[in-house]
A and B are shown apart, each in its own frame.
Chain A
Amino acid sequence: MFKDILVPVAGTGADDETIRLACRLAKRDKGKVWAVSVVTIKRALPLDAEIQSEIKKAEEILDKVETIAEEEGAEVETDVLQAREVGPAVVDEAVERGVSLILMGISYKQRFGQFSLGNVVPYVLKNSPCPVILYQQSSMKTESLI
C-alpha cells in the first residue's frame, strides 16, 4: 500500500520511532524509505549558502537514520535539502519523488500554554499530494527526554 515513504527528520526525539515505523511499513510492501533533513536558509543568504554547522548537523541526523534502517533491514535513501522553508520543501520533495506516503514524527509541543503542531505539519497536511501519517511520540517519552 505504501511503497515509497518520505520521512522528514529534524533531529527530535520522535525521529527514531518514526524511521522504525517507516521501515516496517516499507518492508511489508517491498518499498523504500526516503529520509530528508531540511536546512533552512535565511533570506539574507543565497539559497546555496553552505552553513557548515547546519549541514554537519543534518548529516549526523541522517547518519543515525541510516543506522536505524540498517538495523531494521530496510532500504533507505537520505538527502539533505536546503530551502527557505521546511513545509514547501517537504511537499515539493513528495511531488517530485512521487511518494505514496509522508510519515512525520512529532513530539508534544506547547505554545502559549496550548498544544501546538507548529507551522510545518499544518502546511504539509494542507498541501500534501499523498496521504500523511503523523506519529506522535508518547508524552511519557517526551517528558523523560525533557
Chain B
Amino acid sequence: MPDSLPLRPGDKVFRPRRIKRFRLRRVLGIPAVFSAGYGNVGSSIYYALGIVAVVAMGATPVALGIAGILFIFTALTYAEGTAAIPEAGGSASFARNAFGDSAGFLAGWALMLSYIVTISISAYTIPPYLGYFWEPFKTSPIIGTFASIGIVLFLMAINVIGIRETSLINVTAALVDILTQVSLVVIGFITLFNPTILFHRILDTWPSPENLVTGIALATIAYTGIETMSQMAEETKKPEKSVPRALLMMIVAVLVIFAGISLISLSAMPPQELATVWGRDPVAGIAFYLPVEIIRTILKPLIAVLAGTILFIATNAGLIGISRLAFSQGTHNLVPPALSRIHSRFKTPYISIIIFSLIAVALLIPGFSSTDVFSHMGVLYAIGSLLAFMFSHASIIMLRIKKPDMPRPFKLGWNIHIKKREIPVTAIIGLFSCMGIWLLLLFTEPYSRWAGLGWMVGGIIIYLLYRWSRRRPRDEWQIKLNRK
C-alpha cells in the first residue's frame, strides 16, 4: 500500500519483504583475514603477560601453554562454524542458527562485553608503553588514565565520522607486529635465554594450585581475538576455505610467538618484577633487559612506538567489532533498533559507537585511584570471551545434532558417534574447559562476577522488554475499529 494513502479503520495493512537488489562484493583474501585476526590476538600479549604473571608467577609460561591448547580447540570450532555460516556475527550467528534468537542474543551480548573490555584494556595499556618518551604516562595513574580515556574518545569521534581505513593498513600493521615480536624472540633467545635461570625462577616462584588455575583462566585473554576473523568472513573471498586456513595459520603463529615471549620474559627478569614494575608493559621490560647496548637503544623506542600503535589499532578494532555486531544484532531484531541507527550524513551506526565507547570509558575511570583495575579488566574480558566461546562450542555440537547434513566445508575430525550423530571431541573438551574456567572466575573474582553478571542480566532485561514491545504481527495487522 502506498505511504500516501491514509489508513482508515478496518483497513488491512500488508508489508511485503523487500527484495534485495544488491550484491556484496567480497574482496579480502587469506593475508587480510590473517592480519586482521593476528592484529587482535597478537596485540593481547602486550598486556596479557603481565596480568597472568600477577597470579601465576613462575608458572606464567605453563599457564599460557595450557590456555594455548584450549585456544587450539576454540580456533578449530570457529573454523568449522565460520566455514559453515560465513556471517558477520561470529559466535552470535552460530548460536542463533543452532539454538534460536534468544541464544543468539546472549552470545552476542557476551561478545559485546568482551569487545568493550578490549577497548578499555587496550587503551589502558598504551600510555605505559609510551612512558619511554614521557615517564608520567607510565608512573602517574591520573595522567595514564586521562590519556587512555582521551584515546577512546578520539577513536569514538573518528568512528562516528567514519574514516577511510584500508585493509592494507591492517596487513602492514600485523606484518610489522609479527616482525617485531619474532625479532624480540630471536634476539631474546640469543642474548637472554638461560635454561638454568629460567628453570630456577619457575620452580622458586611456582604458585599454589589455586593460583595456577586462576593463571590459566587469565591466560585465556591472551587468545581472545579469534572472533575478529570470524567477523571478517562475510567480506572474504571463498570464506569456507580462506577463514579456516587463516585460522590455522594464526594458531601456529600465536603459539610459537607467545611461547617464545613468555620464556624470554622470565629469563630476563624475576616474575615478581614482571608482575609489578612491568605489569602493564611486559614487552618493554624484555627490551629493557637486553644485554647488548646498541640493540637495547634501538628496540626500546621501537617497541614503545610499535606496541602503542598496535594497541591503538586493537582499540579501534574493538570499537569497529562492537558496532558491527550491534548492527548485525539489530537487523535480526535482537537489540533495540536505536543501536543500528545510521547517521544521515556520516553513514555510521553513531548511537552504538557512542554508547559503547562511553561504557568503555566508564570501565577506565577506576584507573584514577585503584591499582588493581588492570587485573579486574582482564578477568572481565575473560568472562565475556569465555561465555562467547562456550556458545560457539555448544552451537557447533548442536548443529551437528540438529543439522547433520548441512554443508561443512571445514569439518572437525576426532568425532564420537552418538545415535548416528558425529560429535567433535575438541568441541566437547573446549566447551567443558571454558565452562570450568568461567565458573572458577565467577566464584573467585567478586568484581568481575558482579560486573559480568550485571551486564548479562541488564542485557536480558533489555532483550525481554524489547521482544515484549514487538509482540505484534509484523507482516499484517488490522487498524482498530473506532466504536463510539
Contact = CB atoms under 8 A, between A and B. Distances in A.
A55 B22 CA distance: 8
Interface in A97-136: none
Given A43-B165, A47-B88, A51-B342, A83 B25 contact: yes
Contacts of A85: 27, 164, 166
Interface in B1-27: 20-27
B101 interface: no
Contacts of B348: 42, 44-45
Contacts of A44: 159, 162, 319-320, 323-324, 348-349, 353
B344 interface: yes
Interface string A30-63: 0000000011011111111111011100110000
B323 A80 contact: no
A97 B320 CA distance: 32
Contacts of B20: 50
Contact of A81 (B23, B88, B231, B346): B23
B27 A88 contact: yes
B320 A89 contact: no
A66 interface: no
**Interface range for B:** 20 to 34
B323 A82 contact: no
B315 to A, nearest CB: 14
A43 B353 CA distance: 12
A83 B22 contact: no
A92 interface: yes
Nearest to A62: B21
**Interface range for A:** 20 to 34
B235 interface: yes
A79 interface: yes
B327 interface: yes
A44 B88 CA distance: 12
Contacts of A92: 25, 27
Contacts of B164: 85
Looking at B22, B235, B342, B348, the one whose CB has the most chain A CB atoms below 10 A away is B22
Contact of A45 (B21, B22, B323): B323
B31 to A, nearest CB: 14
Interface string A64-84: 000000000000000111111
Given A51-B347, A59-B21, A84-B235, A46 B88 contact: yes
Nearest to B26: A47
Interface string B149-164: 0000000000100101
Given A79-B23, A92-B25, A93-B25, A48 B88 contact: yes
A93 to B, nearest CB: 7
Nearest to B317: A43
Interface string B343-371: 01011110001000000000000000000
13 contacts: A44-B348, A44-B349, A44-B353, A46-B234, A49-B342, A50-B331, A51-B342, A55-B22, A79-B22, A80-B23, A83-B25, A84-B27, A84-B235
The list of the 9 closest CB pairs from A to B, nearest first, reads A46-B88, A83-B25, A80-B22, A42-B162, A89-B25, A44-B323, A88-B27, A81-B25, A47-B235
Given A82-B22, A82-B23, 13 more contacts: A42-B348, A44-B320, A44-B323, A45-B349, A46-B88, A46-B231, A46-B324, A46-B327, A79-B23, A84-B167, A84-B235, A88-B27, A89-B27
Interface of A: 38-39, 41-51, 53-55, 58-59, 79-85, 88-89, 92-93
